[in-house]
Structure 1
Amino acid sequence: MTCGAPLDVKDKVSDSGWREAPRLRDMTEFRFSGSTCQVEGELVPVAEINLSPQDAVYFEHHVLLWKDESSPLSSLKTQGGMKRSLGGMPHIITVANGPGRVAFSRDAPGELVVLPLHPGMELDVREHAFLLASHSIEYSFVRIKGLANVLHGGSGMFMDRFVTAQYPGLLLLHGNGNVLERTLRPGEKILVEPGGFLYKDSTVQMQAVQLPLRSGLMGRQSMYLAEMAGPGRVGIQSMYVHHHASE
């Protein structure tokens, strides 16, 4: 299982190959390491984690909804400090350690995407989309120079990068609206509105492309899209928000 969907839910795939991420039922519970995660609610879903003493999860501090008083918090400094701050990205990540219960949500309607990461996996996620990750997953970031530049004249789109080494881990994302996933064959390309991009395997190459549009005899307009080239998975969200502070 790579998407975190309940095992008794059948895949729903469109004619063009987009797989609908099955919406997790209210009060769905699953395990990772020695801990459990329960999804509560559907419109603005909440992830409630019951951490075992040996486990921890990290997150952007503003997604914390509530926690047990006894559950300790600490901080994890990320690479890139000032560059991330100027781009509107947090340069300090908060860590919740077990034992204890802690809950998370984002202030937007949508659905939670549960992504178990096996050893040796690497996933890129759009800025401000990850909800939490288990402590066994390494965290860094990359910047795509061009996607936001051509759209808003900014410094580029930041992506969070999650990598597993010898141990598996669990990654939870929040997708605005509905989430769809498609697996690209080697060399297969699709064009995606940059605001709709949610996540991709690191093997998928991503760059900005400009499409000229004719508008009358002398007029010309352009559309800027993100070109995704396989192999690997691409995840999109049907409702998107451009974070102007990071662009």
Structure 2
Amino acid sequence: MEYEIRGGSFPIVICTLQKGETMKNETGAMAFMTSNMKMDTNTGGGLLKGLGRALSGDSIFLNYFTAQSDNEQIGFSACTPGKIMPIELNGSTIIGQKNAFLAAEESVDVDIYFKKKLGAGLFGGEGFILQKFSGNGMVFLEIDGEVIEKDLAPGEKILLDPGHIAAMEPTIDFDIERVKGAKNILFGEGLFFSKLTGPGKVWIQTMPLSKLAAALIPFLPTSSGQSWDVLFDK
């Protein structure tokens, strides 16, 4: 399988498959495919596995696309402005935020991942359930905004505003740290930071969808008498 990512801030990954190769994706991400692609829809491992993916923000069913001849193409597009992040798994595992999964080769296993620490689940910005990608092959993750990659040494820590964690290696310890100082809590960044401790790699997203939505709220109409023109007044 070969791929190309196009589209800038509104990205699409175009995969070129040879005969017999298969890609899978969450329902609704496929933008186009050539005529010699065969599609099959199933839970990807049974009903329980499908329900688990639903808890992590994806759909119960996965779509499988198999090339019936060489050089068939299929495109998977992101649903929000941001990046499509390609990761090649070689028997390794990546933990992603909810809704991170866009598409993957058939050999990649898509499952759920539970946060083990109560505080991180309650205040870490993503809830208790994340997504886990393991096996061999390419997986494409949908990231909000731009993405910054950090490689943390053993014991090295980084603090993030909750919601900015896009993905991380499973060796990363994920916890929370309370913001110190009453003024900082009342007028600063809130009660908690997400605290990540190495060793391992972390991918940070610059514009979580929740923050984008919050930024738009003041410009949305609040009654039937208001016009959508308020969005374009600035």
Aligned to 1:95: 64
- Residue 181, structure 1, aligned to residue 149, structure 2: yes
Aligned-partner residue type, residue 38 of structure 1: E
Q: Are 2:44 and 1:77 equivalent residues in the alignment?
A: yes
Please give the TM-score of this superposition, normalised by the length of structure 2.
0.75
Partner of 2:123: 150
AA aligned to 1:193 is D
Match of 2:131 among 154, 160, 184: 160
Q: Does 1:133 align with 2:104?
A: yes
Partners of 1:162 and 1:229 in 2: how far apart?
Answer: 20
Displacement of 1:94 in angstroms is 1.8
Q: Which amino acid aligns with 1:130?
A: F
Q: Is the 8 A contact 1:146 1:156 kept in 2?
A: no
Shift of residue 132 of structure 1?
Answer: 1.2
Residue equivalent to 1:226: 194
In the alignment, what sits opposite 1:105? 77
**Can you give the 5+ residue segments of structure 2 that lack an aligned partner in the other structure?**
212-234
Give the deviation of 1:211 after TM superposition.
2.2
Cα 1:42/1:140, change in 2 over 3 Å:
same
| Separation in 2, partners of 1:39, 1:143 | 31
Deviates more, 1:39-48 or 1:204-213: 204-213
Give distance in 2, aligned partners of 1:86 and 1:170.
23
Instruction: Name the CA shift for 1:65/1:157 in 2 (closer, same or farther; >3 Å).
Output: farther
Which digits, 9 at most, give the CA deviation of each residue in 1:89-122, with x for residues without a partner? Answer: 322222211233211111222222221222x211
TM-superposed CA distance for 1:53, in Å, is 1.8
Structure 2 CA distance, aligned partners of 1:43 and 1:88?
22
The 3 A distance-change label for structure 1 pair 91 and 209 is farther
1:44 to 10, 16, 21: 10
Q: Distance in 2 between matches of 1:193 and 1:62?
A: 30
CA gap of 1:127–1:68, structure 2 versus 1, over 3 A, is: same
Q: Secondary structure at the match of 1:174?
A: strand
Residue 220 of structure 2: aligned partner: none
Residue 8 (structure 1) aligns with: none
Percent identity, aligned pairs only? 22
Q: Map 1:1-20; keep pairs closer than 5 Å.
A: none
Asked if 1:202 is matched to 2:170, the reply is: yes
Q: 1:59 to 1:213 in 2, by over 3 A?
A: farther
Q: Decide whether the 8 Å contact of 2:56 with 2:131 is kept in 1.
A: no
Q: Deviation of residue 40 (structure 1)?
A: 2.2
- Which secondary structure does the structure 1 equivalent of 2:28 belong to? helix
CA drift of 1:199 comes to 0.7
Secondary structure of the structure 1 residue equivalent to 2:155: coil
The answer on whether the counterparts of 1:114 and 1:173 sit within 8 Å (CA) in structure 2 is yes
Structure (1 or 2) with the greater helix fraction: 2
Is the deviation greater in 120-129 or in 67-76? Answer: 67-76
Structure 1 Cα separation of the partners of residues 3 and 191 of structure 2:
41
Q: Does the 8 Å contact 2:26/2:58 carry over to 1? A: no
Q: 1:179 to 1:36 in 2, by over 3 A?
A: same
Q: 1:133 to 1:190 in 2, by over 3 A?
A: same
Query: How far 1:198 sits from its partner (Å)?
Result: 0.6
The letter for the 2-side match of 1:98 is A
Asked whether the equivalents of residues 54 and 60 of structure 2 are also in contact (C-alpha less than 8 Å), the reply is: yes
The separation in 2 between residues aligned to 1:158 and 1:94, in whole angstroms, is 22
User: What's the RMSD between the two structures over aligned residues?
Assistant: 2.7
Q: Which runs of 5+ in 1 are unaligned?
A: 1-34
Q: For residue 55 of structure 1, what is the aligned residue in structure 2?
A: 21
